[in-house]
Amino acid sequence: MSFATLTDGSFALRLMAITMALAIATLIAGCSSLPPLEGRSESSALPLEAARNTELGQALAPVEAAHPGMAGIYPLPDATQAFATRVLLAEAAEQTLDIQYYIWRDDITGTLLLKALWQAAERGVRVRLLLDDNNTSGLDPLLAELDAHPNIQVRLFNPFVYRGSRVWGYITDFSRLNRRMHNKSFTADNNATVVGGRNVGDAYFGATDGVLFSDLDVIAVGDVVRRVSDDFDLFWASQSSYPAGRIIPEAEPYRDNAGSLPPSLKSALEKALSDPSAEAYIHALKTSPFIRQLTRGELDVTWARTRMVSDDPSKGLGQAKGDALLASKLTTIIGHPTTTLDLVSPYFVPTDSGVKALSDLAAKGVRIRVLTNSLSATDVAAVHAGYAKHRKALLEAGIQLYELKDTITHTGTEDPVGTFGHSASSLHAKTFAADGERVFVGSFNFDPRSMLLNTELGFVIDSPDLAREIASGFDRKVPLQAYEVRLSDEGDLYWVARQTDGTETRFDTEPDSSFWRRTAVGIISIFPIDSLL
């Protein structure tokens, strides 16, 4: 075949396509500079005295005074309860709502929460909504309407200037846009906050027939709430947070009839409420005793010393130093476990250095158990590839590995590593317990992305009770809901599924996964991409 033949037909078309793509990328890059931040409004969390004067603050004052220096912690493993808690906090707020999320979907639960924010603003509550811009595609009309409300401010973290395909943004500004804000917090009147692993969307609150994320949040009251508010202020005022009005088109004017919803929000709400799945969430909001129990001091909270850990927002621009990173703060607070470490992470990519650190602990007699997603359960196969290459080394070090099955049955319990659905499930909780004394709950995954690229937020809670709950989950629930990964005498991996009657089923390849999916993961694992996972 001659060179002339190669330059005809498909080769010429491909060359033309590449040339056009490069030209478009160059044009977008030239038109996609970020707007200036000068003149951006300044604001801060509700002052402590004002927070104490709210109904929620006055109700909490006696119990907080009885537990000085401690936080009241209440786990929220149940998906419906986690959703209702957020809406009810929005309804209880009198002065401020400060809200920060990586993902916010315009589905049933996301829309119901947006409605709650709008209604709070209509009552005079100041709402500050900070969203990472990586997952806001299609939300611009809704965000513009919210931002147009005089009591709502919306900001986007590391925004995409070009509002079309996110791919073009990555091509032209990868070093910045590869860094995302993964923090998750929902704070009412600087008195109560929800922090944990859940984003906002049906997959995280159970209102879907697709993959359900087994997750964990906690609601906290006490002094740690003020630390969360201070941290929110740092992110709100950071050089990565842009007022939505400078990034997205303004909302279309509409006729405001005595508190009526704006058009896009109204349309989204009508669509959400037409779904039969919405009924369960409306019912939960009507029947949940949460706010009444909280304000009466009847909520069965655990009072414990609790420290907030977070990344400095300058990490979003690659400017944070080592001691400003959450991973460094975690190491300082947790120290080195001496007896046990139970770790739950959906995206577990330990890297060579992490394997060595865990192996060194195991060599000192620390019992280490890890729960992550199986190949069939994970929603990010590339991350599984980053984990799979390290399994043998971890097992050889004496570390126990469990991989969550993709289909599990509801247990009716509320373990932090429990589940809430009958259909396909994917682990999303990020928690660990060390030495039966300290627990971490937050957004931090044990992977290079959380370590080096994304900003993260969480609590370290000194609570033997919560640590025992996680250990109990590993003892009783995990062996039934996950495959245990083992090494044969020949050094080969195999998987064991345990039944309630004690019988075991062995698999010599990754269970419930296709040949092609396993092959793809094997190929991906060859490439040195751990730092991006």
Pick the catalytic residue from 107, 430, 447, 512.
430
HSE, side-chain direction, 13 A CA sphere, residue 104: 25
Query: CA separation (Å) from 39 to 180, 238, 246?
Result: 24, 14, 11
Main-chain phi, psi angles of 328, to 5 degrees = -65, -40
- What secondary structure letter does DSSP report for 525? T
189 is catalytic: yes
Of 223, 281, 285, give the one whose Cα is nearest residue 91: 285
Pick the catalytic residue from 223, 230, 233, 435.
435
Token pair 């279309």 in the structure block, residue: 252
At a CB cut-off of 8 Å and minimum separation 6, what does 2 contact?
none
182 is catalytic: yes
Instruction: Report whether 283 contacts 274 (CB < 8 A).
Output: no
What is the distance between the alpha carbons of residues 33 and 173, in angstroms, rounded to a whole number?
A: 10
Pick the catalytic residue from 78, 98, 173, 184.
184
435 is catalytic: yes
Type of residue numbered 178: N
Pick the catalytic residue from 384, 428, 512, 530.
428
What is the distance between the alpha carbons of residues 103 and 82, in angstroms, rounded to a whole number?
A: 16
430 is catalytic: yes
Query: CA separation (Å) from 17 to 20, 45, 162, 242, 426?
Result: 5, 51, 21, 34, 38
Instruction: Report whether 77 contacts 418 (CB < 8 A).
Output: yes
Pick the catalytic residue from 78, 189, 215, 406.
189
Pick the catalytic residue from 133, 173, 182, 217.
182
Element (H, E) at 384: helix 381-388
At a CB cut-off of 8 Å and minimum separation 6, what does 438 contact?
333, 334, 460, 461, 462, 463, 467
Catalytically active residues are: 182, 184, 189, 428, 430, 435
